[in-house]
Structure 1
Amino acid sequence: MTNISLADPSGRPIRVGLDVGGTKIDAVAVDASGRIIGRLRRPTGWGDDAVVESIVLAVAALADENSFAISEVGSVGVGIPGLVDAGAGRVDHAVNLGVESLDLAARSEEVLGVQFRVENDVKAAALGAAALNGVAGSMAYLNLGTGVAAGIVIDGQIWRGSRGTAGEVGHLSVDPRGRLCGCGQHGCIETFCGGGALTKAWGRPGALPIKDLFDAADAGDPLALSLRNDLYHGAAAAVRALVLSADVETVVIGGGLTALGERLENGVRAALRAGAEASPFMRSLRLDERIELLPAGSPAAAFGAALVGASITEKEIVSHG
């Protein structure tokens, strides 16, 4: 990973990274060599005060469980959904957390006395995935979860583009006659391979609707087969868009749908091969060989947040989905 130093001149060698989701916080502690020395998960609160409190408690619990003092923490990086002003440390419109506008860094620093930096969760995950996968050149991170979002990392740096939306393919329309997307367009990539859109189209109750959908497809259910093919088609379209627009060497796929493991990976690879059959140019790109799945339980998002905390940020606004 270039352009990021985990050493701290003030003698605080530990960096903490927090991946803040709608229901839980994944927290890691990273030492000066870049090694993860502790990890825990805690529930996330709802609303401004509860979110700040849950973040502070996660840092304190991480320190307590791994026998280091808060005074040894040089920085805390937070990856969080919503519209993020990285320079100001503020997050807006984090609807799944009950947050409209929150000066997250300032409020957390006031309690702990540690420097906080805030980044969009998918951008932080992209940075972490690049570091953990040892990517030295260019990489796109494709997050397949409730929604679809992506981030691009080049030479150890998040590439944002002119307005912070570089790599965001979830709301690229690939079928103007397709299902209505929450963004108001029809046939967005997210309507094909976003967990929320698929669950809605599946329309059957269950604790794990996408797994249920795959199981039903294996049993020959016509609707399940159609929706599973949609997922493969949409994920393959996202990979093509990322590679053709940014010429990244690798697309790392993460997010909740990666719990499907080989059932997802093999299907996306097959869809990429099928889509390239009629085109010598597309076959030459070998897209099916350029995708990787993050392993289940990967700490990429929290680790990326720790790297964000250790880096120098400029005042930028990034968002997704």
Structure 2
Amino acid sequence: MTRRFDGAASAGRPVRVGLDVGGSKTEALALDAEGRVVARHRCGSVRGPAGVVETVRDAVAVLCGPSSALRAESVGIGIPGQVEAPSGRVRHAVNLELRDLDLGRILEQELGAPVTIENDVKVAAVGACRLRGRAAESLAYLNLGTGVAAGVVVDGVLQRGVGGVAGEIGHLSVDPRGAACPCGQRGCIETVAGGGAVARRWGGIGDLPVLEMFDAADRGDERALRLRGELAGGVAAAVRLLVLTLDVPAVLLGGGLANLGDRLRAVVVDELRGAAEASDFLGSLRVDERLEMLPPGSGAPALGAAHVGAEVGTVRTAPV
């Protein structure tokens, strides 16, 4: 670690800072008392314990440093991995090369402000509620990135579960004879709907293999059509699972694969409608009408992190 940045001691208007610290990039923003975004900053992420601390400290310094008119009164951070709340200890974050690190305590010492750390998908669900202007609503946010996971908010309460793993539906096995999953099971939703698994199975040569696969499917390539169908089926299964277990009025798709936009939504909706046509029960639920896309570049994880961080000490969490 290098010098300590005392954001709380800086003069200026108090703001709530939120950061989305990913494996390659970090997005930070500051909210005023009315919840308006008054500053943003994006930078690369440095991995490892010292690197993550440096990334967060430097990003907060850009927003709330000595020369800024802003002062960090709270800091919320979303990271990909297993986080122990409310302590802020990171048990496992592979993409950031963190393991069993008391990151919350370390960053509070570095920043001189209260710090709350939460899983990035969970804070994205909170951010999605705020973007919709309904902080107390119920919804599920389905993140389709390298893996698959969900964040759930019920009546404004973020659902964590007793061990913080609520929403890890990517590791629900839907085909015991399916492909092996890194979690040790077979046929998990993630093996057909996770971006990493789809890219490996497609084996494309481009920088965006899933997009390449969609393009090939549009041209009628049989293997691409099969993989796209399996992806759509996996996402549809995850959406139905969230609706059937929680009866949320909306399931928002986000993450890297959601950048496909309507191309992804269309094939998932087709799967949902096909299942509904074969089942009066599913048809009555109108699952396809509950599916929405999180707008690209919405900043939901950083926004949610700022709101969760502002509630430090009074975060309303509930077991499922």
> Corresponding residue for 2:33?
32
How is 1:67-106 mapped onto 2 (pairs within 5 angstroms)? Answer: 67-69=68-70, 72-106=71-105
Moved over 6 A (4+): 314-318
The amino acid that maps onto 1:57 is D
> Corresponding residue for 1:252?
252
> Corresponding residue for 1:178?
178
Q: Does 1:139 align with 2:139?
A: yes
- SS of the residue corresponding to residue 53 of structure 2 reads helix
Distance 1:290 1:317, change over 3 A: closer
> Corresponding residue for 1:295?
295
> Corresponding residue for 2:279?
279
Deviation at 1:277, TM superposition (A): 0.8
The amino acid that maps onto 2:235 is A
Deviation at 1:218, TM superposition (A): 0.8
For residues 100 and 225 of structure 2, what CA distance do their matches in structure 1 show?
Answer: 42
> Corresponding residue for 1:20?
21
Q: Which runs of 5+ in 1 are unaligned?
A: 1-10
> Corresponding residue for 2:127?
128
Deviation at 1:65, TM superposition (A): 11
Q: Does 1:62 align with 2:63?
A: yes
Indicate if the aligned counterparts of 2:114 and 2:312 stay in contact, CA closer than 8 A. Answer: no
Indicate if the aligned counterparts of 1:85 and 1:317 stay in contact, CA closer than 8 A. Answer: no
- SS of the residue corresponding to residue 265 of structure 2 reads helix
Distance 1:277 1:66, change over 3 A: farther
Map Cα deviations across residues 260-289 of structure 1 (whole Å, 9 max, x no partner).
Answer: 011011111111101111111111100110
> Corresponding residue for 2:48?
47
> Corresponding residue for 1:6?
none
Q: Which range moved further: 128-137 or 13-22?
A: 128-137
Indicate if the aligned counterparts of 2:20 and 2:120 stay in contact, CA closer than 8 A. Answer: yes
For residues 182 and 250 of structure 2, what CA distance do their matches in structure 1 show?
Answer: 29
For residues 297 and 29 of structure 1, what CA distance do their matches in structure 2 show?
Answer: 16
Deviation at 1:134, TM superposition (A): 2.8
For residues 206 and 27 of structure 2, what CA distance do their matches in structure 1 show?
Answer: 25
Q: Which range moved further: 30-39 or 154-163?
A: 154-163
Deviation at 1:315, TM superposition (A): 9.7
Indicate if the aligned counterparts of 1:88 and 1:315 stay in contact, CA closer than 8 A. Answer: no
Deviation at 1:149, TM superposition (A): 0.3
Q: Does 1:196 align with 2:200?
A: no
Please, what TM-score do these two structures have when normalized by structure 1? 0.90
Indicate if the aligned counterparts of 1:37 and 1:66 stay in contact, CA closer than 8 A. Answer: no
Q: Which range moved further: 237-246 or 96-105?
A: 96-105
For residues 69 and 244 of structure 2, what CA distance do their matches in structure 1 show?
Answer: 46
Deviation at 1:105, TM superposition (A): 1.8
Deviation at 1:167, TM superposition (A): 3.0
Indicate if the aligned counterparts of 2:78 and 2:117 stay in contact, CA closer than 8 A. Answer: yes
The amino acid that maps onto 2:47 is W
Deviation at 1:317, TM superposition (A): 11
Indicate if the aligned counterparts of 1:86 and 1:317 stay in contact, CA closer than 8 A. Answer: no
Deviation at 1:51, TM superposition (A): 0.7
Map Cα deviations across residues 188-244 of structure 1 (whole Å, 9 max, x no partner).
Answer: 111111000101111122211111111111111111111111111011000000010
Distance 1:86 1:313, change over 3 A: farther
For residues 32 and 108 of structure 2, what CA distance do their matches in structure 1 show?
Answer: 20
Q: Does 1:214 align with 2:208?
A: no
> Corresponding residue for 2:106?
107
Indicate if the aligned counterparts of 1:232 and 1:268 stay in contact, CA closer than 8 A. Answer: yes
Map Cα deviations across residues 47-82 of structure 1 (whole Å, 9 max, x no partner).
Answer: 10111001100111123699424xx21100000112
Indicate if the aligned counterparts of 2:21 and 2:78 stay in contact, CA closer than 8 A. Answer: yes
Indicate if the aligned counterparts of 1:84 and 1:317 stay in contact, CA closer than 8 A. Answer: no
Indicate if the aligned counterparts of 1:13 and 1:74 stay in contact, CA closer than 8 A. Answer: yes
- SS of the residue corresponding to residue 134 of structure 1 reads coil
How is 1:140-159 mapped onto 2 (pairs within 5 angstroms)? Answer: 140-159=140-159
The amino acid that maps onto 2:74 is S
Indicate if the aligned counterparts of 1:137 and 1:249 stay in contact, CA closer than 8 A. Answer: no
- SS of the residue corresponding to residue 45 of structure 1 reads coil
Q: Does 1:311 align with 2:314?
A: no
Alignment root-mean-square deviation, CA: 2.1
> Which has the bigger relative contact order, CA under 8 A and spacing at least 6?
1
Distance 1:12 1:116, change over 3 A: farther
For residues 309 and 92 of structure 2, what CA distance do their matches in structure 1 show?
Answer: 22
Q: Which range moved further: 131-140 or 72-81?
A: 131-140
